[in-house]
């Protein structure tokens, strides 16, 4: 084509890459071989290979700042273990050195996050194990194993308690943690309404700002109220109370986490055949969070397939030794490692 300058040609190339990559990811999701049956899995050590991501842009451009986020680094993870993948919920230790994730196939994954030069460089001491039911029973049905959210509610990875949100059989459970192993739940609670199949509970967090500190908040992936807002609930002594998040641009909610100052960081994803996958991070001010509110928040970053993203489903937060807020994301590869990836990416929140 004539009459195009270098900028114009680069723009067309970017669009072509965006379209092709988007189709590949879409085909990857559609052609996924299916989730493994993990009902009889045991706890075991696994080897995880990590490819370092030096740039957040697929072009390889050495750029660090993206909206209100500064890219620290990332990893593309892989393993020969058949249960590795499908990670939809993520938590990071308070010092940022360890991670814990849950898979929508009903397993957990734990490991140390190795760093080099202040950037992620690999995973060490990795283990995988099954999520189990009350009384130590196995989760026999696939719909009971669909874990989508993970949040540490007390203690740490050595001895603590975690909240796990499940989709399809929608419920939130309190699970014990002992030496980085997720044990049996001690109790469950459920949303007050029936949610769409495979679009149910997706994001769970524990509020950290008074007067709601300690309360659980949860949102469905795609369930809207009469005004078209995303439906969620805050659980208190009187039970669940409704809260809503304004739907901006048809994105689904995939996870959220509360920062130490009480602000809520929401991870969202949108898929269209014509554009592939998009993701964004939205921050909700702590003072805005209350039962009955319609939350809007501030967009910190929105990206498409020009960026090193995939099916982004998990978010976690911690403060580094200098007090800076570090945001970590993980992707769900739909157990189709041929066309999709398990990505772990870290950013510093600039403001």
| pLDDT score, position 327 | 98
Non-local (6+) Cβ contacts of 340 within 8 A are 25, 28, 29, 32, 310, 311, 331, 333, 334
Mean pLDDT of the chain: 91
Q: What is the pLDDT of residue 22?
A: 53
| pLDDT digits 0-9 by tens, 104-139 | 999 999 999 999 999 999 999 999 999 999 989 989
- pLDDT at residue 15 in the model: 43
pLDDT band at 6 (very low <50, low <70, confident <90, very high): very low
Q: Quick one: tokens of 68?
A: 């209100």
Answer for the pair 263, 236: CB distance below 8 angstroms, yes or no.
no
Q: What is the pLDDT of residues 321-349, one digit of tens each?
A: 999 999 999 999 999 988 999 999 999 99
Which residues, listed in sequence order, are joined to residue 130 by a DSSP beta bridge? 107
The confidence score (pLDDT) of residue 337 equals 86
Instruction: Give the distance from CA 13 to its chain's centroid.
Output: 30
Q: What residues have CB less than 8 Å from 296, skipping those under 6 apart?
A: 245, 246, 248, 284, 288
Residue by residue, DSSP assigns 107-143 as EEEEEEEEEETTEEEEEEEEEEEE-B-GGG-B--SGG
For 265-280, write each residue's pLDDT tens digit.
Answer: 999 999 999 889 999 9
User: What's residue 5's pLDDT?
Assistant: 37
pLDDT of residue 17: 45
In this prediction, residues 209-238 reach a mean pLDDT of 95
**Model pLDDT, residue 34:** 79
Q: Following DSSP, what letter does each residue of 165-230 receive, concatenated?
A: EETTTTEEEEEEEETTEEEEEEEEE--SS---TTSSEEEEEE--STTSTT-EEEEEEEEE-TTSPE
Domains of the chain as residue ranges with CATH: 6-349 (2.115.10)
Kind of pairing between the strands at 252-258 and 239-245: unpaired
| Across 176-192, average pLDDT | 96
pTM over 0.85: yes
Count of all residues that appear for the chain in the document: 351
Taking the CA atoms of 122, 146, 310 and 284 in sequence, report the sign of the dihedral they define: negative
Burial of 24 (0-12, 13-18, 19+ CB in 10 A): middle
CB 270 within 8 A of CB 229: no
Kindly tell me if the per-residue pLDDT of 13 is higher than 60. Answer: no
Q: Are 205 and 267 within 8 A, CB to CB? A: no
Residue 326 per-residue DSSP state: E
- The pLDDT of 285-313, averaged and rounded, is 97
Helix (H, G, I), strand (E, B), or coil: what is residue 7? helix
For 281, counting Cβ atoms within 10 Å of its Cβ (0-12 exposed, 13-18 middle, 19+ buried), the class is: buried
Check: CB of residue 264 under 8 Å from CB of residue 243.
Answer: no
Dihedral of CA 229/92/312/220: which sign?
Answer: negative
Q: How far apart are CA 310 and CA 78, in angstroms?
A: 14
- Judge whether residue 21 has pLDDT over 80: no
pLDDT (tens digit, 9 = 90+) per residue, 24-79? 555 554 444 578 999 888 999 999 999 999 999 999 999 999 999 999 999 999 99
- pLDDT interval class at 249 (50, 70, 90): very high
Cα distance from N-terminal residue to C-terminal residue, the chain: 43
- Smallest CA-to-CA distance from 331 within 58, 82, 135, 87 is with 87
């Amino acid at each position: 084509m004539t009459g195009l300058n270098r900028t114009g040609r680069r723009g067309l190339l970017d669009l072509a890459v965006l379209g092709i990559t988007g189709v590949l990811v879409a085909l990857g999701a559609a052609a996924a071989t299916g989730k493994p049956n993990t009902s009889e899995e045991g706890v075991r050590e696994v080897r995880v290979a990590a490819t370092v991501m030096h740039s957040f842009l697929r072009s390889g451009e050495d750029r660090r700042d993206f909206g209100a986020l500064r890219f620290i680094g990332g990893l593309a993870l892989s393993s020969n273990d058949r249960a590795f993948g499908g990670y939809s919920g993520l938590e990071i230790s308070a010092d940022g050195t360890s991670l814990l994730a849950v898979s929508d196939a009903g397993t957990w994954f734990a490991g140390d996050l190795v760093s080099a030069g202040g950037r992620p460089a690999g995973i060490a001491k990795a283990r995988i194990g099954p999520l189990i039911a009350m009384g130590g029973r196995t989760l026999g049905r696939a719909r009971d194993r669909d874990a989508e959210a993970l949040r540490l509610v007390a203690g740490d990875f050595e001895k603590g308690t975690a909240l796990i949100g499940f989709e399809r059989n929608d419920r939130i459970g309190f699970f014990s943690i002992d030496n980085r192993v997720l044990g049996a739940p001690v109790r469950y609670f459920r949303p007050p309404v029936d949610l769409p199949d495979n679009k149910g509970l997706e994001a769970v967090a524990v509020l950290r700002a008074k007067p709601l500190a300690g309360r659980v908040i949860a949102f469905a992936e795609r369930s809207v109220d009469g005004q078209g807002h995303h439906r969620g609930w805050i659980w208190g002594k009187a039970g669940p109370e409704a809260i809503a998040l304004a739907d901006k641009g048809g994105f689904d909610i995939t996870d959220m986490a509360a920062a130490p100052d009480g602000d809520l960081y929401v991870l969202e994803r949108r898929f269209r055949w014509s554009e592939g996958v998009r993701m964004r991070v939205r921050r909700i001010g702590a003072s805005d969070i209350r039962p009955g509110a319609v939350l809007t928040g501030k967009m910190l970053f929105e990206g498409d397939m020009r960026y090193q993203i995939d099916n982004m489903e998990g978010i976690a937060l911690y403060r580094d030794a200098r007090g800076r807020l570090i945001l970590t994301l993980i992707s769900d590869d739909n157990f189709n490692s041929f066309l999709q990836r398990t990505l772990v990416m870290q950013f510093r929140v600039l403001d």
